[in-house]
Amino acid sequence: MLETVWQSVELKVVNRIKVLLMKTYSDEILSSYAPRLQKLVRGYSRHLPDYIRDSECDDLGTVAQLELMESFKVWLPSRCLDFWTLANARIIGALKDHIRFISKGEENRLYDWITDSAHVYMEVADRADFQHSIDTGIQLNQVMSVLTDREKSVVVSHSKDDLTFKEIGTQIGVSESQVSRIYKRSLEKIKRHMDFTAS
């Protein structure tokens, strides 16, 4: 009986509490999450081309703060106890949307390809000419071309989206150990290709 009553009023009660917290403690909320937001924005923006990162870094920080507060508005502790898990996913989505918006329409696919490629490339190489490779796209195109769609999906999911091999396995319907083998084989293919093109 009590549980039924609570379910009928939970949303109203939680929303009232959140409104009160946001009105009274919004600065404190932003301040307490500032280090995480800075780390998230830094990590996301370091894979962007220089001309985008240099002009949009401050805006990305603002987008992250706004989306943190928007995430707080929709957060329900009974459905997702860890607020940052929800906020993190939504903030990354908001950062991508911002870059897509400033990149205008058809360039969205190019941007997605660049960021996916950058994460794969960073997984296998730490080279001084990395930024130039992103800007030209030539080497990245060659690197990505050696992977099958499945291999690319596994590598991007692990290196860019931070999914575990177990989570990836659940998504594509194979075991954790199979995902690990696909991942290692993919990196070996990329390394061999990079070594071949460098020689």
CATH of the domain at 162: 1.10.10
Here the CATH number for the domain that contains residue 44 is: 1.10.1740.10
The verdict on 125 and 39 lying in the same domain is: no
CA neighbor of 198 nearest in space, from 117, 123, 133, 120 = 133
Q: What is the mean pLDDT of residues 38-63?
A: 82
What is the pLDDT, as a whole number, of residue 36?
94
108-152 pLDDT tens trace: 444 455 555 555 555 555 443 433 443 344 455 566 677 788 888
Q: What pLDDT score was predicted for residue 100?
A: 73
25 and 57 both lie in a single domain: yes
Is residue 40 located within the same domain as residue 111? Answer: no
Q: 110-133 burial, b if ≥16 CB within 10 A, otherwise e?
A: ebeebbbbbbbbbbbbeeeebeeb
Nearest C-alpha neighbor of 197 from the set 156, 160, 143: 143
Domain, as residue range, for 191: 107-198
- At 175, which amino acid appears? S
CA distance 22 to 53: 30
Q: Which band of pLDDT confidence, cut at 50, 70 and 90, is reported for residue 37?
A: very high
**What is the average pLDDT across 14-39?**
88
Last residue in a domain, options 79, 103, 127: 103
Confidence of residue 28 (pLDDT cuts 50, 70, 90): very high
Query: Can you give the pLDDT at residue 124?
Result: 53
Confidence of residue 15 (pLDDT cuts 50, 70, 90): confident
